Amino acid sequence: MSTLTYRTAGESHGPACIALVEGLPAGVPVDKAFIDSELRRRQGGYGRGGRQKIETDTVNILSGVRRGLSIGSPIVLEVVNKDSRLDEAPALHRPRPGHADLAGSLKWLTTDCRPVLERASARETAARVAAGALARCLLRQFNVETFGYVLSIGAVVGKVDFSLPLETLRAQRDQGDLFKDWVGCPDPAAAEKMREAIRKAKEESDTLGGVVEARVFGCPPGLGSCVQYDQKLDARLAMAVMSIQAFKGVEIGLGKDAAFLPGTKVHDEIAYDSALKDTPTLGFVRRTNNAGGLEGGMTNGQPVIVRGAKKPISTLGPRQALESVDLNTKQPDKAAYERSDACAVPAASVILENVVSFEIARALVEKFAGDSLTEMRANYDSYLGTARKLPL
């Protein structure tokens, strides 16, 4: 079975963050400018810290691409760290509550948390965003589009009107200066309240989390499988989201709210509209999409809806340092302070958007396997054409 995979390498203050992508078919137009734009968006957001003033993330494509097209071999993506000082960075003996510091130090039998935090840092997501943006170059060829945004920050919740064109929602989401006041919410009134909540948290040396959502449009039915637990697309999406640093919850569609409603209010009734038979939905429509486009671990032709909950960042300002212990002396002490953000929820929406995209692209490659984009496209067209002829 063909598969699309990626692995990352690199430390927060090492020379670079690296992504190794394997399984992308040959012939995919690779849009470096788009990958760079996603990396730039990941750096943005009101509430980000000083690190983003140092870095200017762009991707170096070191292999697997010739004259703008993938060639079927492994693709290496490099995002260089300007703030590269891994050997000079000081030891850290006072673990921060909520971070990987203590658990990792005990795992690797050291009292210096520095090596742990360097790899556990969310700086690693630069490589994941690059990989996801590369995968979206493939999704474009099948008219599959992902839209990620901020749903809430702290107690402020936005309302998004999906009856509006996606271009309008994207313009609303992207309002503001990326590095001054952007919060990534398509609800302008809620966005201003989010900025105020972040301002207050910064003044109090505190941090804020939030909820981010990604919607994927244009997926054909049948991506994923119900045959094995690890082939279910919703399970794979959940793992991808929960692997993002500081994420503590994930939902598909209605999510946990489905547990509090009767079945008549949860399940999406099915109808058929012959006018839509030539679309990827094959003509099957729903009045609601509480399932989030996934039933039995497979896409059902409706938009895929994935939501992730991000906790507040673990590093608090010096005035709010939490209680901890010095690992060398075992005596009570305040948690160490590392340069950090008051809020990184807008950036988290970009990360979610791209890790979700990669999983959708992975499922697409598995369903319509081919060594080249031409072969994969032929398999895609053949599948939809056969499905439209049912019953055979």
Q: Which residues of 281-315 are buried (b: 16+ CB within 10 A; e: fewer)?
A: bbbbbbeebbbbbbbebbbbbbbbbbbbbbebbbb
Burial of 266 (0-12, 13-18, 19+ CB in 10 A): middle
Q: Can you tell me whether residue 118 is helix, strand or coil?
A: helix
pLDDT value of position 50: 63
pLDDT value of position 258: 97
CA dihedral of 258, 261, 262, 268, whole degrees rounded to 10:
-50
pLDDT value of position 52: 64
DSSP secondary structure letters along 198-222: HHHHHHTT--B-EEEEEEEESPPTT
pLDDT tens digits, the chain, 392 residues: what are they? 579 999 999 999 999 999 999 999 999 999 999 999 999 999 999 988 766 666 789 999 999 999 999 999 999 999 999 988 899 999 999 999 999 999 999 999 999 999 999 999 999 999 999 999 999 999 999 999 999 999 999 999 999 999 999 999 999 999 999 999 999 999 999 999 999 999 999 988 899 999 999 999 999 999 999 999 999 999 999 999 999 999 999 999 999 999 999 999 999 999 999 999 999 999 999 999 999 999 999 999 999 999 999 999 887 767 788 899 999 999 999 998 876 788 999 999 999 999 999 999 999 999 999 999 999 999 999 999 999 999 98
Give the β-pairing of 145-153 and 156-157: antiparallel
Residue 65 host element (H or E): strand 65-66
Pair 220, 299: CB distance under 8 Å: yes
pLDDT value of position 51: 61
Amino acid (1-letter code) at residue 347: A
Helix axes 32-43, 345-367, angle to 10 degrees: 140
pLDDT value of position 53: 67
Strand partners, 9: 18
Whole-prediction pTM value?
0.96
pLDDT value of position 301: 97
Burial of 66 (0-12, 13-18, 19+ CB in 10 A): exposed
pLDDT value of position 55: 74
Domains of the chain: 5-388 (3.60.150.10)
